[in-house]
Chain A
Amino acid sequence: MNYTVFLPEILVLITASIVLFGEWAFKSIDNSTEKKVRNIGFVTLLGMFAALGVLLSFETTGYGLITSFFSPETSTFYSSFVLDSSAIYFKIIILISSILTVLISFKYVSDKIKNVGEFYALICMATLGGMFMSSANEMISMYLGIELISISSYILCCFNKDHNKSSESALKYFIVGGLSSAILLYGFSLLFGLTGFTQFPQLASTFDKFTAPELNAIFLIGVIMSIAGLGYKIAAVPFHAWAPDVYEGAPTPITAFLSITSKIAGFAAISRFFLIFNNSMSEKLVVLVAVLSVLTMCIGNFLSLAQKNIKRLFAYSSIAQAGYLLMGLIPLLMNRMDDSASILFYLTAYIFMNIGCFAAIIYFSKFTGSTDIEAFAGVAKKSPFIAFVFSCCLISLAGLPPFGGFTGKFYLFVGAVNSGYTWLAFVGAVNSVISLYYYVKIIKTMYFVESTKDIKFELPNAGILTAVILSLAGILILFLVPYPFIQMAKMSALGL
């Protein structure tokens, strides 16, 4: 068996173990929490960078590194685990988003969180779950990947033990998550009961056998239940109700993690799950996905308009973004591989714009002491650079040039139009205009509303500053020189 294919996962797991079991070794001499957090966070970053490096070497050399030492197979454990080009791409963006989440968490963790080792270990474990989801080639492995990321997230949500809202968010997430897992498992078990296989390639080949409408109906129920279970992971309407409360109550770095890493992992799982459908089935599913996409976009955007708390606003905004991303699944289902690269590209841009926003939210809310939008009044004068990057990220989220969000949305819409869903692209464009309203409202509050309180701002620490600079660079580069990245996404989408 070829063990190098999960070298990145092993590295992340080792990092988690070091951080978890070796926490005592990171105490500094003067017993300051800040230094301890910095040391532990640094080790976490180191492990994730090592895993990222291995993945990038897989990406650039094809499988050169693997094949030169070992057998050329890229799947292992009886094909439960595959490492194709799309899995590599998804893992790379999952790792980048986790690295950025760790970067923005330092200050927050040393201020508010007591169990530092466990916190970073759980982030590693959740990342591991996302990586397993993107390479799962079999229903049970995929389910376990989902559980890995979900259970870690439930625990991470209530790390802020002093706040009632944090416990509330964890409990709500746990109950909704448990229910969704049950629905997902029911769907999977119907599919397994029909075919007798759990492996996706075998599943795909057996569906043609079922011609009776009754069996087709069961199959459809199984698929819809599975989509419902996976849809909760990406917070698609109507499985979105948990998102606002959970996002509001969770510690802010974890909110960032849920809105980025968790969502990428969900899309990785969905795109892998959709591979099993043959053409007759995928025609029905395309309609279903289009309806889900419209609902998710519209409801996400309309509910965002009324939000007063910025974390709740970002919950609804991330629901709306999931709607745009669902649009990218349509070319995938129709086997138009060129256009299905758009979802990979938009997810990449999505990491950078969201992490820029959350870095700014963490930084500002530390000094204003609240996450209400009104509390952000006049912060632009105190910290012009961070406010500037925040505004850029918001404009990018709304999908305006000159940022990566524009390029990403452009390709998503082009993909929908090429697949014959012009009306869907139109709805998406209208929704982008609506979203502009609430994104610009935040910018207006930061720049043009006078602050009533006199708050002193300290300089941002290195972690936040790095994340902010990286996110600005990311969204600019993805706009200015998108071709290498689109080429990379296209190459990866071929594996889908």
Chain B
Amino acid sequence: MAANTIFFMIFSLVAIISGFVMITRRHPLSAALSLVVTFISLAGLYGLLAAKLLFIIQILVYAGAIMTLVIFSIMLLNVQEEDLPAEERIIERVSITTLILLPMIYIIGRSFTVIKDGQFPEVSQDFGTIHSVGMFLFTTYSFPFEVISILLLISLLGVVVLAKRRI
């Protein structure tokens, strides 16, 4: 087996298991920590795909910044075990959802077997580098890039409106 495949197996197994742990843990903090593990193994998968920028961003922004924020807010809220509502029949719920999604996994898996070479354009040499992502952001996708700035302004506004004390 190629080293690529072995790493892919390891990363995806870790991602799936920690994802499962995340939705089954009762305490928010342990759920959040297993989410960090999922993010890091996803970053490994991006690295295997040679998407360098995405790999860095996944670790810096998702596993780093966003998760710090999540963990901080959980700690500030100081959620206790007894404050949490009772969760009933969690195993049944998870397995039913999995059953519903299984056909989709099957179809997606099947479709990879019929994809022929040459049906898709080949990835260029500099795929996933900071340079090529930057080129895309400032040419083809410059419009969405600008719209995001408005979106950020709105979220800032929302935070102020919701969190500001009443005058």
Task: List 5 extra interface pairs beyond A132-B147, A214-B107, A221-B107, CB under 8 A.
Answer: A122-B154, A122-B157, A125-B153, A148-B150, A214-B114
CA A20 to CA B154, docked complex, whole Å: 11
Contact in complex: B154, A148 (CB < 8 Å)? yes
Most buried by A among B108, B144, B150, B164: B144
Contact in complex: A214, B113 (CB < 8 Å)? yes
Most buried by B among A121, A122, A159, A215: A215
A-B contact pairs, 5 of them (CB 8 A): A77-B143, A78-B140, A115-B161, A148-B154, A155-B158
The answer, yes or no, to whether A140 is at the interface (CB within 8 Å) is yes
Contact in complex: B143, A78 (CB < 8 Å)? yes
| Closest beta carbon of chain B to A326's beta carbon, Å | 25
Residue on B with the closest CB to A6?
A: B143
The answer, yes or no, to whether A161 is at the interface (CB within 8 Å) is yes
Most buried by A among B111, B140, B155: B111
In which size bucket is the chain A interface? 35 or more
| Closest beta carbon of chain A to B120's beta carbon, Å | 6
Out of B114, B150, B157, which one reaches A128, CB within 8 Å? B150
The answer, yes or no, to whether A81 is at the interface (CB within 8 Å) is yes
Residue on B with the closest CB to A144?
A: B147
Contact in complex: B144, A140 (CB < 8 Å)? yes
The DSSP consensus for interface residues of chain B is helix
- Which residues of A are found within 8 Å of B151, using beta-carbon distances? 144, 147-148, 151
Per CB-CB distance, the 4 closest pairs between chain A and chain B, nearest first, are A77-B143, A80-B143, A214-B111, A155-B158
**Number of residues in B with C-beta < 8 Å to the partner?**
32
Contact in complex: B148, A144 (CB < 8 Å)? yes
Residue on A with the closest CB to B153?
A: A125
Q: Mark A155-188, 1 if CB is under 8 A from B, else 0.
A: 1001101000000000000000000000000000
Q: A-contacting residues of B (Cβ < 8 Å)?
A: 104, 107-108, 110-111, 113-115, 119-121, 139-144, 147-148, 150-151, 153-155, 157-158, 160-162, 164, 166-167
Q: Mark A122-163, 1 if CB is under 8 A from B, else 0.
A: 100100100010000010110011011001101100110100
Contact in complex: B162, A155 (CB < 8 Å)? yes
- Which residues of B are found within 8 Å of A13, using beta-carbon distances? 150
Contact in complex: B142, A77 (CB < 8 Å)? yes
Most buried by A among B114, B147, B150: B147
Most buried by B among A80, A114, A121, A151: A80
Out of A78, A114, A122, which one reaches B139, CB within 8 Å? A78
Contact in complex: A155, B111 (CB < 8 Å)? no
Contact in complex: B158, A151 (CB < 8 Å)? yes
CA A218 to CA B105, docked complex, whole Å: 10
Contact in complex: A158, B162 (CB < 8 Å)? yes
- Which residues of A are found within 8 Å of B119, using beta-carbon distances? 209
CA A37 to CA B148, docked complex, whole Å: 29
Contact in complex: A118, B143 (CB < 8 Å)? no
| Closest beta carbon of chain B to A41's beta carbon, Å | 18
- Which residues of B are found within 8 Å of A77, using beta-carbon distances? 142-143
Contact in complex: A125, B154 (CB < 8 Å)? yes
CA A81 to CA B167, docked complex, whole Å: 41
Known: A141-B143, A145-B147. A20 touches B157 (CB 8 A): yes
Known: A81-B143, A128-B150, A140-B144. A118 touches B155 (CB 8 A): no
- Which residues of B are found within 8 Å of A115, using beta-carbon distances? 161, 164
CA A122 to CA B162, docked complex, whole Å: 13
Residue on B with the closest CB to A161?
A: B166
Contact in complex: A118, B161 (CB < 8 Å)? yes
The answer, yes or no, to whether A212 is at the interface (CB within 8 Å) is yes
